[in-house]
Structure 1
Amino acid sequence: MGLAREIVSAYADLRASLEKRRYTPFTKAEYLRKLGAHVGEACYIVPTDLGTEPYLVKIGNHVAIAAEVAFHTHDGGVWVLRDGCTDLQVFGPIVIEDNCIIGHRSSLMPNVRIGRNSVVAPNSVVIMDVPENSVVMGVPARPFGSLEKYRQKCLERWAQQRPSDIKIEPGETWWTSKHRTANRDKLRQHLLTLFSDQLK
């Protein structure tokens, strides 16, 4: 009986693993919706795991979520409080509004809302709401500046770093252009030249 359960469990794990591999970051929303998460359109999502309560996660439209982002929809700290209440659990939703990016290895704690048009820098721990149009970073995540200030800085840098011969068709993006591979090669050469002194 024990061996049969192990085989069934291993088979279920294998099926789940194969199911996850069917999806790319551009189509991951479909998989996460099957788990009960509320996910908008035009998202780029790398993680396949939204924590133990994916139905408490809401992701808006045009949201990018980098690798190894952790979603904590429950408070694991209650473990140390269970001496008087053995079934103690505390939960809270995580809401990411439209047009946000969550950086690599960030952690989102229960009961947080990330306002639209916001950037969460890599390795940040978000323990409270992030206002709209914000850039936050750190442990715990704190406001670093406005989205407008960040936009200006990025546009200035891109004006210096963008190769002049990049081709992107009207209506396409860097990622969807048929020239993506050639553009990437041009960018690589341009950046190596631009930063040659710093890379010595």
Structure 2
Amino acid sequence: MFSTVRGIVTALRDRRAAARDPEGFARSLGVDLRGRVRFYGIDRGMFGSEPWLVTLGDNVYVTAGVQFVTHDGGTLILRKEDPDLEWTAPISVGDDVYIGVRTIVMPGVRIGDRCIIGAGSVVTRDIPDNSVAAGVPARVIRTTDEYLAAMRAKSLRVGHLPAQEKAAAIREIYGVGTR
């Protein structure tokens, strides 16, 4: 029972620390932040058992449910055949990167600069600079420049507005809640 109470207290302390200062919380776990990182939902489990093997560059956006997996747990069942078996490797994320909701980044992966990773992707190999990647496993689907051109073509042109004004403008554009 004492360990259950201690676990609850730790979870509450983590939640408060993560809400107050997400970047500081990540650093306290050992994550190497090389610049400004914005977390949209963060918890201790996001970085697995080796958070000190995760490096995040400058101007990185990490959304809810993202997992950085720095080891292959499948080796556990094979240790009776090879007791020293282990696969653990660093994860590196460059500058100007957006990682979509519920993405999983696997051991040894490097995501380059100016990349966008689509929601629900499983990143099993390196993603080169200036790439948009998505899927299971994630693969490059276009360049970031091609993505920018497509987004410019369909932009609502409200990205510069403060949150409440932007919400009001989007409601007006789509006629939601204005009747």
Q: TM-score, normalised by structure 1?
A: 0.78
- Equivalent positions of 1:152-191 (< 5 A) are 152-158=149-155, 161-162=156-157, 174=161, 177=162, 180-191=163-174
Q: Deviations over 1:77-135 (max 9, x none)?
A: 21232222345322001101111011111110000000000001011111110000000
Highest CA radius of gyration, 1 or 2?
A: 1
Q: Which runs of 4+ in 1 moved over 4 A?
A: none
RMSD between aligned residues: 2.1
1:103 aligns with 2:100: yes
Structure whose residues are more often strand by fraction: 2
Contact 2:69 2:105 in 1 (8 A): yes
Q: Using CA pairs under 8 Å that are at least 6 residues apart, name the structure with larger relative contact order, 1 or 2.
A: 2
State the distance in 1 between where 2:63 and 2:165 align: 24
The equivalent of 1:142 in structure 2 is: 139
- Which residue of 2 is the match for residue 115 of structure 1? 112
The answer to whether the 8 Å contact 2:18/2:42 transfers is: no
Tell me how far apart the structure 2 counterparts of residues 185 and 22 of structure 1 sit (CA, whole Å). 32
The CA distance in 2 between the partners of 1:22 and 1:77, in whole Å, is: 32
Give, in whole Å, the separation in 1 of the partners of 2:93 and 2:24.
17
Task: Could you tell me which runs of 5 or more consecutive residues in structure 2 were left unpaired when the two chains were aligned.
Answer: none
Q: Give identity over the alignment, percent.
A: 30
Cα distance change of structure 1 residues 43 and 152 upon mapping to structure 2, 3 Å threshold = same
TM-score by length of 2: 0.87
Q: Secondary structure at the match of 1:190?
A: helix
Query: Does the 8 Å contact 2:36/2:57 carry over to 1?
Result: no
- 1:33 aligned partner: 27
Which runs of no fewer than 5 residues in structure 1 stay unpaired? 1-5, 169-173, 194-200
Give the AA of the match of 1:181.
Answer: Q
The code of the aligned residue for 2:136 comes to V
